[in-house]
Each structure stands twice: as structure tokens, then as C-alpha cells.
């Protein structure tokens, strides 16, 4: 019975349902809950899951692929190109710096240079799954730390291809045996027997194929599927896109996660962006949870018991080496001390791709079985310790560094006189803040990015550095006496958390909340938020207005019609919010609303004065 796939599914699901809520109850990350669940059900504690855990880990890594595809959907191609200096700069310094330092330490202890170099490669990699999931939960994706950590992880996904190609050169077996090992390992691809030049061309061709297919094949296919109005087909299409891109990348020896990310970037400007996100989110989160549980189940407590001091020393050494290199990276790229600490803690673990690299090295006879087991345990333990390091950093280090000392003076003034609080000063919040400042409105600004905080102070804003989801921070900023709270951050989960707390404890404060899109606006409306501002609504209407103005329409009349359109659309959103979960009813009601809007706008022109009516006509 224990070998039944249904029994194993029950065990994994039950472990998650029990352990994750317990972890959250104590204020811990959901990642810790999944890891603890994996350790409990694994072969070395309760024994519900046996040696097949390695197969589960390989399957669950597909969650990382999905996560990078969804992240790619959030990044426009132009933004991705602008990140190239960070990716190459920070990524190369971190990877090669970590490899060099690890190699030097191991070689000094008399370790064979091939083994030392291979371990250095593995240690240089960090966990995309743990880092990005933690950043998302804590709303750090748009901070300097979030951008920096993502850039480093992206470079690691690229460089792992080179590492896998270099490993056979370090092999201690014959050329035929090396080929045989590659044929049975994770490094299998169709290009192995081609000349190096042709391999490069094939890789470039594959990347170009993804870009072209995204525009001329995938988007038209999704349009055809959308017309069928069969939701499960859209789910199947989304999965087909991710699986297909990943398969193509594996065929040419590239990282499936990197290919998925590139595919997401290509589709970021399509009309199906939000639909793909919402469709894949449940699969992504479920597979990521399964991945963390599989990592927990893979921790070999027998090996730990046999080599406790060695493994403890290796784990501590890995974290210290990576922390040193990451701290230096932060200094070189002028990150503030708190951002450097986040970088050190966030990327201090060995990543999931190290499992692939280490296993391939074992097949090439670079490692012995005992050495492989020790490194796999060290890898899993560094991943498991990361959420704990996060907690220690948040509670013991961050409160004592960064901009805290320079913030003591403005905090006294905040509580006395500022009736408006602005949370988040990114591209959206900065527009709001500058407009208020231009009209003489004193505003307290809260932001999690210390680099941005320093910039705000130079501009003369009173600012407080910290996480606005903490009620004690909002209270120190004067929320009890405030009249308005403007929530301008771009993380929906963080937004919902803030508005729920404020609405419950300080109902007298008027909430003005940013929504990334119409779907987030629906969720906020269901929470009872009256003043919701979609970041794309006004700008898209402004763009359409400019087109009409360029065509010769009267500017004043067009501005009046634009204001009318926005008012009608906001009212329509409130009426549609209750029907969006019923697709058929939503489509029917949405068509009615659109027709009504167009009718009212047309009638507004007809009943207006002849002067206005003449103005709205294009000038010949």
C-alpha cells in the first residue's frame, strides 16, 4: 500500500496541510513549513516516502521552471534588456568570486583540484525557488535587493550550462565512459556530437525560435483557444507552452528555467499575459511546495549522524563564503547596508541546480559515493537554513542597520502634523508624491528600499524606512491621526495585507489603493475599498486621447470625454465585481456594460451644446 501513488499523494498533501499552517501560525515562512513536512514524511523519520524521493524532486523542479515563466511575464522585453549590466556584472562577480574562494579554501586543505573546482561550481549556485518565493512573500521583488538577487540568479541559470559542459573535461574516466555517463545523466542533449560552432548556432537558433514562435505561433494559438470559450483548453495551452519551451531547451542543453523565463518575457506584451499568470499560478505554487517538501525528504540523517562535525563545518563554511562574496558585490554596486544583508541571507544557500551538477559529477567519477552523499546533505541543509537566517536577520540585524539612526528625528514630526501617508515610492508612488508635494501637501513616505529612502531625503521628503505591512511601523508613522493612507506598492499580496489591517483597526482613515490590473481591483472592491486606482487605466485613456488629438479632434472636448469614460469604467467595475467568478455571466454582463458606456458617451455628445458638438469633430 505504501508504494501506491495515491497513498504518496495523500502523504504529501497531508504534510503540507498540517505543517504549513503551523509555520505561518508562528510567523514563519511557508517554505519552512514545506521543508519540515518533507523531513517528517521522508525515509529517515516517519518513512512514508522512500528512495523515490529523488524522482519526486526531479519532477517538482518543474515548479521552478513555471515560476520563472510567470516572472518573465512581468518583465517587458525593454526592461529585460536594461537589466543586462546587472545580470552580467553582479552575476559574474558572485559566481566566479564564490568559485575562486571555495576552490582556494578546499585546495588549502589538500582537496584534489578537480574535486575542489567541482564543489566550487556547485557552491556558486543559489536557490531560485527559495529566494524568489521568499522575495514574493515579503514584497521585495521591486526593491534594489530584489532586482539584484534576480539578476544574480538569472546569470547562474545561464552559467550552469557552461558548468555542465566543462565537467566532462574534469572526468576521471575514459572518453567512452564519459559519453555513457552523459547519455544516462541529466546532461543529455542532441548537440553533444556536433562541432562547437554548430552547437552555438543551434543554441542561438533555439532562442530565436522561442521569440518568433511567441509572436507568430503561440499568441495566434491562444486566440483560437480563447474563442472556443473552453477554460480547460486555456489551462492545457498554458501548460503546453511551458512544457514545450522547457523540452526545447533541454534538447539543446540549455536550462529549462532560463528558456521558460525567456518565453515569459516574449509573451509579456500579449493580451494573454494576465490570463496565463492566473492559469499557471495554482500549478506553480503547488509544484514549488512539492519541491520544498522533496528537498526536506532528501536530507539524509544517517549521513549527518556519521559525519556531524564535518557536515556542520561545511554548511557554516558555505554560508560564510557566499555571504562574504555577496557582501563585496553589494559594496561594488553601491547597495546600502540593509540591502547587502538581505543579499547575503537571500542567496547564501546552494541551489537546486547543484543537485543536477553534483549527480553528473558523480557519474563522471569526479566524486565518490560518500562525498556525493555529504554534498547533497550540505546542499539540502543550506536550503533548509535559509528561512531561519531570514528570521534572524529581520529580528536581530535589520532593526539596527540601514537608515534607522537618521530616521529618529523625522519620526517625532510625523505623528504631530502629517495627515497623509504614502506607502511605496516606485514609478507609481513617485508620481503621486511629487504631485502632492507640488501642491504643498505634507506627506509621510514609507518605503522598504533604503537606496530609495536616501534619494527621497535628498528631494526633501520626510520618509521612514521599513515594511509598511507591520502595524507598529504604520502607527509610528502616525496612522492613528492620519486622514489618508495612499497605498502605491505593486505587490498585490502586500497591498491586501495592509488594507485589511488598516481597515479593521483604523476605519476612519480613508484608503486610496493602487491596483495593478482590473482583477486586483475586483479583489480590493470585495474587501470594501472604495477608492481604487488601476495603474494602466488613466494612462491608456490618455494614450487614446492623444491619438484623437493628433488626428485633429478638439483638445478640450476630448479631455471631457476622457474624464467621462474613466467615470463610467470605474462605476462599471463596481457592478462587475460580483460576477467575475462566473465566466459566462461575467462575459454577458461585461458586453452589456461596454455597450452602455458607448451609448452614454455618444448621447453625451448629442445632448451637448452645438459648440461642444462641433469641437469633438475632427478638424480638416
pLDDT digits (tens, 9 = 90+) for 378-397: 988 898 888 888 888 877 88
Report residue 179 as a C-alpha cell. 559519453
Please list the residues that pair with 511 across neighbouring strands.
Answer: 485
Q: Of 45-49, 100-104, 110-114, 421-425, which one has max mean pLDDT? A: 100-104
Q: What is the pLDDT of residue 327?
A: 94
Q: Residues 74-84: what's their mean pLDDT?
A: 72
**Which of 204-208, 291-295, 521-525, 584-588 has the least mean pLDDT?**
584-588
User: Which tens digits make up the pLDDT trace of 205-252?
Assistant: 887 888 888 878 888 888 888 777 777 787 788 888 888 888 887 777
Percent of residues, the chain, with pLDDT higher than 90: 11
With 90 as the cut, is the pLDDT of residue 319 above it?
A: yes
Q: Of 404-418, 566-580, 603-617, which one has max mean pLDDT? A: 566-580
Q: Which residue has the cell 507598529?
A: 472
Q: Under a CB-based contact definition with an 8 Å cutoff, are residues 24 and 18 in contact?
A: no
Residues in Cβ contact with 2 at an 8 Å cutoff, skipping those fewer than 6 apart = 48, 50
Which of the four pLDDT bands, split at 50, 70 and 90, describes residue 409? very low
Total number of residues shown for the chain: 620
Report residue 51 as a C-alpha cell. 528512495
Q: At what angle do helices 128-137 and 369-392 cross, to 10 degrees?
A: 10
Class of domain 403-533: alpha beta
For 619, other C-beta atoms within 10 Å of its C-beta total: 8
CA atoms of 413 and 415, how far apart (whole Å): 6
- The structure's pTM equals 0.60
Q: Under a CB-based contact definition with an 8 Å cutoff, are residues 529 and 511 in contact?
A: yes
DSSP type of residue 608: S
Q: Under a CB-based contact definition with an 8 Å cutoff, are residues 211 and 261 in contact?
A: no
User: Which tens digits make up the pLDDT trace of 522-543?
Assistant: 788 888 888 887 776 676 666 5
DSSP string, 357-407: HHHHHHHTTSS-HHHHHHHHHHHHHHHHHHHHHHHHIIIIIGGGSTTHHHH
Q: What is the pLDDT of residue 404?
A: 42
Domain boundaries, the chain: 5-399, 403-533, 536-620
The architecture of the domain spanning 5-399 is: Up-down Bundle (1.20)
Q: Which residue has the cell 510567523?
A: 27
Residues in Cβ contact with 1 at an 8 Å cutoff, skipping those fewer than 6 apart = 7
Q: Under a CB-based contact definition with an 8 Å cutoff, are residues 477 and 464 in contact?
A: yes
Work out the angle at residue 457's Cα, subtended by the Cα atoms of residues 453 and 461, and round it to the nearest 5 degrees. 100
492: buried, middle or exposed (CB in 10 Å: 19+, 13-18, 0-12)? middle
Report residue 487 as a C-alpha cell. 497605498
CA distances from 222 to 129, 236, 239, 240, 278 (A): 28, 11, 12, 11, 15
CA atoms of 174 and 167, how far apart (whole Å): 13
**Which of 5-14, 90-99, 352-361, 423-432 has the least mean pLDDT?**
423-432
Which of the four pLDDT bands, split at 50, 70 and 90, describes residue 118? very high
Listed residue (160, 148, 136) closest to 347, CA to CA: 148
Q: Under a CB-based contact definition with an 8 Å cutoff, are residues 361 and 163 in contact?
A: no
Q: What is the pLDDT of residue 105?
A: 94
Percent of residues, the chain, with pLDDT higher than 70: 77
Listed residue (543, 549, 433, 529) closest to 488, CA to CA: 433
CA atoms of 328 and 305, how far apart (whole Å): 35
DSSP type of residue 421: E
Which of the four pLDDT bands, split at 50, 70 and 90, describes residue 176? very low
CA atoms of 83 and 129, how far apart (whole Å): 20
Backbone angles phi, psi at 487, to 5 degrees: -100, 105
CA atoms of 333 and 336, how far apart (whole Å): 9
With 80 as the cut, is the pLDDT of residue 59 above it?
A: no
Q: Which residue has the cell 485613456?
A: 541
Which of the four pLDDT bands, split at 50, 70 and 90, describes residue 188? low
Listed residue (458, 465, 463, 412) closest to 442, CA to CA: 463
Q: Residues 300-306: what's their mean pLDDT?
A: 86
The CA-based diameter of the chain, rounded to the nearest angstrom, is 92
Report residue 454 as a C-alpha cell. 536616501
Q: What is the pLDDT of residue 612?
A: 42
Q: Residues 286-290: what's their mean pLDDT?
A: 80
Quick check: helix, strand or coil at residue 536?
Answer: coil
DSSP string, 99-143: HHHHHHHHHHTT--HHHHHHHHHHHH---HHHHHHHHHHTT-TTS
Amino acid at each position: 500500500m505504501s508504494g501506491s501513488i495515491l497513498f504518496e499523494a495523500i502523504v504529501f498533501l497531508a504534510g503540507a496541510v498540517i505543517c504549513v499552517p503551523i509555520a505561518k501560525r508562528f510567523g514563519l515562512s511557508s517554505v519552512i513549513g514545506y521543508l519540515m513536512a518533507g523531513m517528517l514524511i521522508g525515509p529517515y523519520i516517519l518513512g512514508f516516502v522512500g528512495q523515490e524521493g529523488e524522482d519526486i524532486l526531479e519532477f517538482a523542479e518543474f515548479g521552478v521552471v513555471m515560476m520563472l515563466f510567470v516572472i518573465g511575464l512581468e518583465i517587458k522585453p525593454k526592461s529585460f534588456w536594461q537589466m543586462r549590466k546587472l545580470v552580467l556584472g553582479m552575476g559574474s562577480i558572485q559566481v566566479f568570486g564564490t568559485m575562486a574562494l571555495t576552490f582556494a579554501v578546499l585546495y588549502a586543505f589538500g582537496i584534489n583540484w578537480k574535486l575542489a573546482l567541482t564543489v566550487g561550481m556547485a557552491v556558486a549556485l543559489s536557490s531560485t525557488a527559495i529566494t524568489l518565493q521568499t522575495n514574493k512573500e515579503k514584497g521585495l521583488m521591486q526593491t534594489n535587493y530584489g532586482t539584484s538577487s534576480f539578476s544574480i540568479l538569472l546569470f547562474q541559470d545561464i552559467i550552469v550550462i557552461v558548468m555542465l559542459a566543462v565537467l566532462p573535461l574534469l572526468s576521471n574516466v575514459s572518453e567512452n565512459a564519459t559519453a555513457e555517463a552523459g547519455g544516462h545523466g541529466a546532461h543529455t542533449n542532441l548537440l553533444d556530437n556536433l562541432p562547437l560552432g554548430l552547437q552555438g548556432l543551434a543554441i542561438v537558433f533555439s532562442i530565436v525560435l522561442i521569440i518568433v514562435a511567441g509572436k507568430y505561433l503561440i499568441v495566434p494559438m491562444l486566440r483560437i483557444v480563447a474563442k472556443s470559450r473552453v477554460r480547460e483548453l486555456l489551462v492545457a495551452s498554458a501548460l503546453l507552452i511551458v512544457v514545450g519551451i522547457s523540452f526545447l531547451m533541454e534538447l539543446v542543453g540549455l536550462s529549462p528555467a532560463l528558456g521558460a523565463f525567456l518565453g515569459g518575457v516574449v509573451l509579456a506584451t500579449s493580451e494573454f499575459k494576465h490570463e496565463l499568470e492566473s492559469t499557471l499560478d495554482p500549478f506553480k505554487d503547488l509544484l514549488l511546495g512539492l519541491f520544498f517538501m522533496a528537498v526536506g525528504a532528501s536530507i539524509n540523517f544517517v549521513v549527518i549522524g556519521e559525519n556531524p562535525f564535518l557536515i556542520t563545518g561545511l554548511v557554516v563554511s558555505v554560508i560564510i563564503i557566499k555571504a562574504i562574496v555577496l557582501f563585496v558585490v553589494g559594496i561594488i554596486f553601491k547597495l546600502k547596508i540593509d540591502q547587502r544583508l538581505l543579499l547575503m541571507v537571500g542567496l547564501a544557500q546552494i541551489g537546486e541546480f547543484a543537485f543536477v551538477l553534483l549527480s553528473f559529477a558523480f557519474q563522471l567519477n569526479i566524486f565518490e559515493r560518500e562525498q556525493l552523499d555529504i554534498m547533497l546533505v550540505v546542499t539540502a541543509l543550506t536550503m533548509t537554513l535559509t528561512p531561519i537566517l531570514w528570521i534572524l536577520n529581520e529580528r536581530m540585524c535589520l532593526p539596527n542597520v540601514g537608515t534607522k539612526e537618521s530616521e529618529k528625528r523625522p519620526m517625532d514630526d510625523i505623528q504631530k502634523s502629517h495627515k497623509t501617508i504614502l506607502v511605496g515610492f516606485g514609478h507609481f508612488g513617485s508620481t503621486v508624491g511629487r504631485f502632492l508635494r507640488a501642491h504643498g501637501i505634507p506627506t509621510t513616505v514609507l518605503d522598504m528600499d533604503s537606496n530609495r529612502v536616501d534619494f527621497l531625503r535628498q528631494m526633501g521628503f520626510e520618509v521612514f524606512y521599513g515594511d509598511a505591512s507591520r502595524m507598529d511601523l504604520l502607527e509610528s508613522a502616525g496612522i492613528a491621526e492620519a486622514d489618508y493612507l495612499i497605498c502605491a506598492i505593486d505587490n498585490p499580496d502586500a497591498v491586501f495585507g495592509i488594507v485589511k489591517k488598516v481597515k479593521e483597526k483604523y476605519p476612519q482613515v480613508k484608503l486610496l489603493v493602487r491596483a495593478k490590473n482590473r482583477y486586483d481591483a475586483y479583489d480590493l472592491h470585495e474587501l470594501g475599498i472604495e477608492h481604487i486606482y488601476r495603474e494602466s487605466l488613466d494612462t491608456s485613456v490618455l494614450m487614446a486621447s492623444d491619438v484623437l488629438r493628433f488626428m485633429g479632434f478638439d483638445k478640450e472636448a476630448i479631455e471631457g470625454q476622457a474624464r467621462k469614460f474613466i467615470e463610467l469604467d470605474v462605476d462599471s467595475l463596481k457592478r462587475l465585481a460580483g460576477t467575475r467568478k462566473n465566466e459566462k455571466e461575467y462575459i454577458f454582463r461585461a458586453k452589456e456594460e461596454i455597450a452602455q458606456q458607448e451609448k452614454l458617451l455618444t448621447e453625451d455628445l448629442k445632448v451637448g451644446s452645438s459648440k461642444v458638438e462641433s469641437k469633438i469633430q475632427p478638424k480638416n
